[in-house]
Every structure is written in C-alpha cells, then in structure tokens.
Structure 1
Amino acid sequence: MNFKEFIFVGLEGLRNNKLRAFLTTLGIVVGIAAVISVIAIGEAGKAMIMSEMESFGTNLFQVYPNYREGEPYRPVNFTKQDVAVIKKIAPEVKYLAPMKYDQGEVRSTIGKKNTRIIGTTADYKHIRNVEILYGRFFSEEDDAVGKKVVVLDEMLANDLFNVENPVGERVILQGSAAVVIGVIKKTESAIPGMTPDNYAYLPISSMPGGSRWENVGSLFGSAASKEEVYQAMERVKVILERRHNAVDHYAVYSMEQEMQTVSKVTGIIGLIISCIAGISLLVGGIGVMNIMLVSVTERTREIGIRMALGAQRKDILIQFLIEAIVLCAVGGLIGILLGYGGALIVALVLKLPPLVSWWVVLLAFLFSAFIGVFFGLYPANKASKLDPIVALRRE
C-alpha cells in the first residue's frame, strides 16, 4: 500500500470503532486543549500587565534608603537641595520628585474621608503622566511659597463633594485648610490595585507637620529616555552618596526591572501549569498504546491474511504506526479547536486580549503526532512480528 492508502485504512478504522476512538483520543484532546488555553491565557494576561505597566512609562525609576535587615537604623534623608543638584548636573534625569507619604482625614462641607496623602512636587505630574479632569496640578511656584492647595483623585472628589467640578472648594486636611485646585481623572485599569485612588496630592512644602522634607520615603524619577534609565539611576545614587558621604546607603529600582520580574514570574507560572496539563497528554498517549495493542490482538487474523497476500513486515509496521498517528492527529486537531475556542471565551469574559500564537498551535499538533509515533511504535512493531501461519489460525 502507498502512504495515501495507509491513511485511508487508518481513518476507516476510526469510523468502524467510533466510541473506542473517541475515548482513546479524549486524553489527547483534553491535554492539547488545556495546553493551548493555558499558554494563550497566560500570554494574554502577561501582555495586559505589560501594557498597564508600560502606560506608566518604561523610563521610570525610584531611589530609596537601602535598609538591611539586622543592621542598625541609619537615618537617611533626601533634601530639596539633593533634587536641585541632581536635576542640574545629571542630564539623564528628566524629572525628579520627592515622595512623602501620610495618612489622614480630609473633610469637606458635606462629609469626611480617610485618605492617603502624597507630598511631592510639580515634576510628579510629568513622571506619572497625570491626566487632569478639572483645574490643574500644582506648580513649582505653588511649592516654592508653600501654597495651601490640594489635588484630589476623581473618586475622592466625588466622595467629598456633590458638585461636578469642585475646583475652588475648600477642604480641611489633617487640621489645615486647603483649596482644591485640580481633580485627577480616574484611569480604568484591568489590574486591581494598579491604579491608585482615594489620594490627595499636596505640594511637599505645605505638608502638615514639622520639617516638610523630613521622612521623605523616596525619590521618584523619569529618565530622558528608556535607554538611559540605568545610567540615570546610577548617576542619582552616586550623587546622593557623595553629597551625604554615605556609601551604599541608597538603592535604586526601575519600572523596567519590575516588568522583567513580572515577565519571569508569569512565565514560570505558565510553564508549571502547562506541565500539569501535559500530564494528560502522557495519560492519553498511554491510552493510545493500550488501544492499539487491543487492536493488534483483535486483528491478528487480518494481519495474517495481509502477510499471506504478500505484505511485508515493514508494511504491517507502517500501517499500525500510521493508524496511531492518525488517531492522535485527529485528537490534536479537535484539541486545538477546543483550546482556541476556550481561550477566546476566557479572554472575552476577563476582557483580555485574545492571544493564540501560531507556534503554540503548531507545537501542539506536532506533539500530538509525536505521541502517536512514540506510543504507537510498540504495538506496530508487535503486529509486524506476528507469524503469518499462527495469525491465520487465530479465530
């Protein structure tokens, strides 16, 4: 028989034993569908996370005190002069803003709300690409004179005021009065917690309390370009260490590093889940081998007749091997369709970008064919070694 006839015989065997063929390929179908769905959903989730993080800017970095566990506490403060000097002598640094965090109550004429307070400078708007819904963000002049102004997140503004535009309204923030000069537009994020809300932003010079620059948690910066991020971080670190005579007292971290970490973690998780899904492929392959062995036993007399009519051992070997491959290939195709459909449905429900890579589909199909070869080889070899006379005597 030629190759086309071998395939025809293989398909004929599937048609004659539909239920057995279905049960045999079920493990292959489930395994292939699971692998494709998991990889597609994982890639879609990864792409969504990366897109969200890139929207903040890949040229962002942060500088913070390098505290080590077990070491004595070393007070490390950032100063206003630090920021001015860095922006002056480090061209790689485009924007740089202090980040002083606090928690407090903000009150308006209609209610009150516990909020997170950030004391910073005008550069923060450019670093985080803040989109203003109403009014404006505070300027360098506001910070220079310690103007009592505040910028609210849209959600916080809606909780505190029953007017659409609260610019010009007054609030009491930790006992100090401030005028609302702007509202930041809420950004819808597919990742919970990625977009901050319920925040109030103040010029750092008007933060409640004592020294305004005391206990500044970190410096938040933006490099002139993505390619200059690491150079900018190291330059800032060196300048701070020289100004404060404090070697290794500062640590730096970039958004690019954060993205690499996320990519690595999602990749590992996807690999683990794919390996678990691949176990069903192994089980399915064993099922194929068992069924092919049963088929050899049932068709012993048929094999004897073929040999008596002139079929050689290699013909019998190829016939049963192709039947196993056809069985797995059909299961692989069904699994690909189910996996692709499942990935699309999950993507629609979770509002993820549907990502089913062609290489995943090709790899899944080739793997299913490989299973057919691997687990079909032994039954095919056993069939080809049958003695024709013995085989013809089998009832």
Structure 2
Amino acid sequence: MNLKEFILLALEGIRHNKLRSCLTTLGIVVGIAAVILVIAIGEAGKTIIIKEMESFGTNLFQVYSNYKEGEYTKPGDYTKTDIAVIKKLVPEVKYLTPMKYNSGLIRSDTGKKNTQIIGTGSDYQHIRKVQILQGRFFSEEDEAAGRRVVVLDELLADELFGSQNPVGQRVLVQGKPAVVIGIIKKTESALPGLSPDNYAYVPISFMEGSSQWQYINFLFGSAVAKEQVYQAMDRTKTILERRHNAPGHYAVYSMEQEMQTVNRVTTIIGLVISCIAGISLLVGGIGVMNIMLVSVTERTREIGIRMALGAGRKDILLQFLIEAVVLCSVGGLFGIAVGCGGAAVISFFLKLPPLVSWWVVLPAFLFSAVIGIFFGLYPANKASQLDPITALRRE
C-alpha cells in the first residue's frame, strides 16, 4: 500500500467511528485553539498598549531623582534655570518642562470637584500633543507674569460648568482664584489608565504658590527624533549632576524603554499561558494513544488477516501510525479553525488588524501532527509486533 491508500484508509476509519473520533480529537482541538487564542489575545493586548504609547510619542523621556528608600525628591533638585540651560546646551532636546502633581479641590459657581492638579510649563502641550477644544493653553508669558490661569480637561469642565462656556469663567483652585483659559479635548483611549482625562493644568509658578510642596517632582521632555532620545536623556542627566554637584542622583527613563518592558512582560505572560494551554494538548495526545490501543485490540483479527495476505510489520506499523497522525491532524485543523475564528472575533470587536499569522498557524498544525506520531508510535508498534497466527485466532 502507498501513502495515499494509508491516508484514505485512516479517513475511512474516522468516518465509520465518528463519535469516537470526535471525542478522541477533542483534546487536540481544544489545545490548538487555546494556544492560538492565547497568542492572539497576547498580541491584541500588546498592540493596544504599544498603540497607546506611540500615540503619546516614542521620543518622550523623564528625568527624576534616583532617591534611596525612604528618601524623596528634595527642594532644589530641579530649578527653572536648569531647564533653560538644558534647552540651550542640548540640541537633541526639543521640549522640556517641569512636572508637579497634587490633588486638590476646584470649585466653580455651579460645582466642585476633587481632582488631580498638574503644575507644568507651556512645553507640555507640545510634548503630549494636547488638542485644545476651546480657548488656549497657557504660554511662557503667563508663566513669567505669574498669571493665575487654569486649563481643564473636557470631562472636568463638564462637571464644573455643565452646558455653560467655561472659558473666561473664574474658579477656585485649592482656594486660590484662577481664570479658565482653555479646555482640552477628551482623549479616546482603550486604556483608561493611560488617558489624561479629568485633570486640571496650571502654570507651575501658580502651583508653587498654592501648594505645600515647594519643589518640582520631575522633568518631562521630548527629543528632536526617536533616534536621539538616549543622547538627549544622557546629556540632560549629565548637566543636572554637574549643576547640582550630585553624581548618580538623577535617573532617566524613556517611552521606548517602557515599550520594551511591556514587550518583555507580555511575551513572558504569553509563554506561561501557552504552556498551560499546551497541557490540554498533552492530555489530548494521551487520549489519542489510548484510543489507538483500543483500536489495535479491536482490530487484532484484521491485523492477522492483513499479515496472512502478505502485509509486513512495516506496513502494519505505518497503517496505525498514519491513522494516529491523520486523527491528530484533523483535530489540529478544527482547532486552527476554532482558534482563528475566535481571534477574528477579538480583532473585530477591538478594531485591530488580523492577530493570527502563518507563523502561528503552521507550527500549530505541525505540532498536532507531531503529537500523532509521538502518541501513535507505541500503539502502532504494538500492532506490528502481533503474531499473525495468534491474531487470526482472536474473535
């Protein structure tokens, strides 16, 4: 018999034992589908996170104090003069701004809200690519003049003013009067934790005058290009250490490093979950071996007849081995169909490009065939070792 005849014989056996074949391949179907879905979900999560980060800009970086446990950023770690010097001496730095966070109450005539207040500079709107819905963002002139102005996120403005036009209205920011000069457009984000909604932005000079914390938390900047981020960070760090005579006191971190961390974490999580999903493949393979052993027992007389008609041990071995491979391959195909279908549904609802590629499908199919060989070899070998006379006597 040639390979084609062996495959047709195996398919005929599957057709005659539909229920048993379905139950046998169920573990393979579930295992292959689970592996594909896990990879698809992992890719979906990674794509969403990276897409969100890239929307912020891959040329962003932060400079913060590398304090030890129990220590915090201290007054004098950063000054406005530092920023001016860095901008002048480091051509790789395009924008640089101080950042200062605080929680506080903002009150209008029609509402009030405890929210996150960010003290920063005019460069912030360029670094974060802020979209102004109404009015404007504060300028360097506002900072220099010490004007008490505030820019609100769209959601915060709605809570404070409702249907009224907020621009030009007066509010109290931590008890200090300020004028609303702009509204930032609400950002559409798949990851709410990364969305800067429901914040209030004020010039850092205003915040320094209304906060108990009289210092800058960290510096936030962007490089001229993605390729120059590391030069911008390193030179900025060096200048700060020299100006403050504090070697090793400052640390830098970029969005590119954040993306690399996300890639590593999602890859590790995907591998762990894939290994767990692979257990079902192992269980499915054991099920195939058990069914093939039962099949050998049931078809002992058939094996004896084939041997009596001239079939060699190699022919019997190939017959049962190919039958196991075909059984697992059919299960693998159904598993691929289920996995790809599930991935397509995920892709559709998350509005993402296709999440499954040939490098996922092809190994999955080959792996199902390998399972057939591995778990079908013992039953096939057992069948080939039967004595023809003893086999013919079996009822």
Q: Following superposition of structure 1 onto structure 2, how do residues 152-163 of structure 1 map, counting pairs within 5 Å?
A: 152-163=152-163
Larger mean CA deviation between 212-221 and 39-48 belongs to: 212-221
Structure 2 residue matching 1:242: 3-state secondary structure: helix
CA contact (8 A) 1:37 1:342 kept: yes
Structure 1 length as normaliser, TM-score? 0.96
Matched, 1:175 2:185: no
Instruction: Provide the rounded CA distance (Å) in 2 between the counterparts of 1:220 and 1:270.
Output: 32
Aligned residues: 395
Corresponding position of 2:79: 79
CA contact (8 A) 2:63 2:219 kept: yes
Q: Cα deviations across residues 73-109 of structure 1 (Å, max 9, x unaligned)? A: 8655210100000000000111000001112111111
Instruction: Provide the rounded CA distance (Å) in 2 between the counterparts of 1:4 and 1:137.
Output: 74
What is the deviation of 1:343? 2.1
Q: Following superposition of structure 1 onto structure 2, how do residues 1-395 of structure 1 map, counting pairs within 5 Å?
A: 1-69=1-69, 76-163=76-163, 165-207=165-207, 209=209, 214-349=214-349, 353-395=353-395
After superposition, the Cα gap between the structure-2 partners of 1:208 and 1:353, relative to the gap in structure 1 and judged at 3 Å, is same
Larger mean CA deviation between 68-77 and 294-303 belongs to: 68-77
Structure 2 length as normaliser, TM-score? 0.96
CA contact (8 A) 1:149 1:202 kept: yes
CA contact (8 A) 1:174 1:208 kept: no
What is the deviation of 1:253? 0.7
After superposition, the Cα gap between the structure-2 partners of 1:178 and 1:72, relative to the gap in structure 1 and judged at 3 Å, is closer
Q: Cα deviations across residues 104-155 of structure 1 (Å, max 9, x unaligned)? A: 1111111111121111111101100111111111111111111121110000
Q: Cα deviations across residues 4-60 of structure 1 (Å, max 9, x unaligned)? A: 100000001101111111111010011001111111111011111100011000110
Larger mean CA deviation between 157-166 and 137-146 belongs to: 157-166
Structure 2's unaligned 5+ residue stretches are none
CA contact (8 A) 1:289 1:379 kept: yes
What is the deviation of 1:243? 0.3
User: 2:234 is matched by which residue type in structure 1?
Assistant: E
Instruction: Provide the rounded CA distance (Å) in 2 between the counterparts of 1:77 and 1:158.
Output: 37
Instruction: Provide the rounded CA distance (Å) in 2 between the counterparts of 1:211 and 1:240.
Output: 24
CA contact (8 A) 1:168 1:180 kept: yes
Instruction: Provide the rounded CA distance (Å) in 2 between the counterparts of 1:345 and 1:299.
Output: 43
After superposition, the Cα gap between the structure-2 partners of 1:180 and 1:75, relative to the gap in structure 1 and judged at 3 Å, is closer
CA contact (8 A) 2:174 2:210 kept: no
Between the aligned residues of both structures, percent identity stands at 75
User: 1:147 is matched by which residue type in structure 2?
Assistant: R
Instruction: Provide the rounded CA distance (Å) in 2 between the counterparts of 1:197 and 1:73.
Output: 26
Structure 1 residue matching 2:177: 3-state secondary structure: strand
Structure 2 residue matching 1:227: 3-state secondary structure: helix
CA contact (8 A) 1:107 1:160 kept: yes
Q: Cα deviations across residues 262-302 of structure 1 (Å, max 9, x unaligned)? A: 11111111111111010000000011011111111111111
Instruction: Provide the rounded CA distance (Å) in 2 between the counterparts of 1:110 and 1:74.
Output: 38
CA contact (8 A) 2:73 2:217 kept: no
Larger mean CA deviation between 343-352 and 247-256 belongs to: 343-352
After superposition, the Cα gap between the structure-2 partners of 1:215 and 1:53, relative to the gap in structure 1 and judged at 3 Å, is same
